[in-house]
């Protein structure tokens, strides 16, 4: 058995997963339980190389194009919130643009990022909402990380996720999104539906790449 075959699904822990795709750099496997497509750990970048990749992508919080991109999550999320809600932007990156937009909408927002804002005390608090935009595809342990975020939500609180979704094997083969060496987990609608079922709630799909889920009261 190879290392790739021996690893368990990083989202649900299942050992039932099969080869999904290979390109010139990596193998990709798909979990039969939660349908996550994941890159096995032997292909993951070191933390130093991962950060070097992120340092190349400075998004300007004031760039209108980038704000419109984040608006796809920000607008439907803020429509669910009451004024002066308290939130956490998980994986904010070097320029916390979404936190800025949510603060401008009247909310109190903390930020966390393992490379740029690594203050773990944020996880001791409870929030009305948590956002993770273009984050979950980078997580080596998405199951544990998403469970931690879910625990940090108040009853009735909202989790908003933005990530591009896997459609099928053919589309995956030609997908630029998989070529980013920091992208190691690829989710589909089935994956988010599985996750919502675990949490005993419903997943709302908004457009092509935004998911909103409310923690039961």
Residues at the contact surface with Zn ion, assessed by CB under 5 A: 9, 11-12, 14, 31, 33-34, 36
As measured in angstroms, the least distance from the Cβ of 29 to Zn ion is: 10
C-alpha 172/C-alpha 125 separation (Å) is 38
C-alpha 112/C-alpha 14 separation (Å) is 28
As measured in angstroms, the least distance from the Cβ of 33 to Zn ion is: 5
**Per-residue CA distances from 68 to 58, 101, 214 (Å):** 16, 11, 24
As measured in angstroms, the least distance from the Cβ of 190 to Zn ion is: 10
As measured in angstroms, the least distance from the Cβ of 18 to Zn ion is: 12
Q: Tell me whether residue 31 or residue 212 sits nearer to Zn ion (CB atom).
A: 31
Cα-trace Rg, the chain: 17
Q: Tell me whether residue 34 or residue 109 sits nearer to Zn ion (CB atom).
A: 34
Max CA pair span of the chain: 54
Q: Tell me whether residue 4 or residue 31 sits nearer to Zn ion (CB atom).
A: 31
C-alpha 103/C-alpha 82 separation (Å) is 13
**DSSP assignments along 49-117, one per residue:** HHHHHHHT----TT-HHHHHHHHHHHHHHHTTPPTT-EEEEET--SS-HHHHHHHHTT-EEEEEBTTTB
As measured in angstroms, the least distance from the Cβ of 193 to Zn ion is: 13
Q: Tell me whether residue 14 or residue 22 sits nearer to Zn ion (CB atom).
A: 14
Q: What are the two backbone dihedrals, phi and then psi, of residue 81, each rounded to the nearest 5 degrees?
A: -100, 150
Q: Tell me whether residue 96 or residue 143 sits nearer to Zn ion (CB atom).
A: 143
Q: Which of 62, 54, 40, 66 is nearest to 91 (CA)?
A: 54
Strands 127-133 and 185-186: unpaired
Q: Tell me whether residue 3 or residue 108 sits nearer to Zn ion (CB atom).
A: 3
As measured in angstroms, the least distance from the Cβ of 52 to Zn ion is: 29
């Amino acid at each position: 058995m190879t290392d790739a075959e021996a690893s368990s699904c990083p989202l649900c822990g299942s050992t039932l997963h099969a080869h999904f795709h290979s390109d010139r750099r990596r193998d990709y496997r798909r979990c039969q339980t939660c349908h996550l497509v994941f890159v096995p750990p032997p292909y993951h970048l070191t933390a130093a190389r991962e950060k070097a990749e992120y340092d190349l992508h400075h998004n300007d919080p004031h760039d209108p194009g980038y704000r419109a991109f984040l608006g796809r999550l920000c607008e439907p999320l803020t429509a669910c919130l009451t004024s002066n809600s308290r939130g956490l932007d998980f994986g904010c990156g070097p320029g916390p643009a979404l936190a800025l937009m949510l603060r401008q909408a009247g909310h109190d927002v903390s930020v966390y990022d393992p490379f740029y804002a690594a203050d773990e005390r944020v996880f001791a608090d409870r929030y009305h909402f948590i956002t993770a935009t273009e984050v979950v595809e980078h997580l080596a342990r998405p199951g544990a990380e998403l469970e931690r975020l879910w625990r940090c939500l108040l009853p009735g609180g909202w989790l908003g996720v933005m990530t591009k979704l896997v459609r099928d094997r053919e589309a995956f083969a030609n997908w630029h999104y998989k070529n980013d060496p920091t992208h190691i987990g690829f989710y589909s609608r089935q994956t988010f539906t599985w996750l919502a079922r675990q949490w005993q709630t419903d997943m709302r799909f908004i457009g092509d790449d935004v998911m909103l889920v409310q923690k039961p009261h």
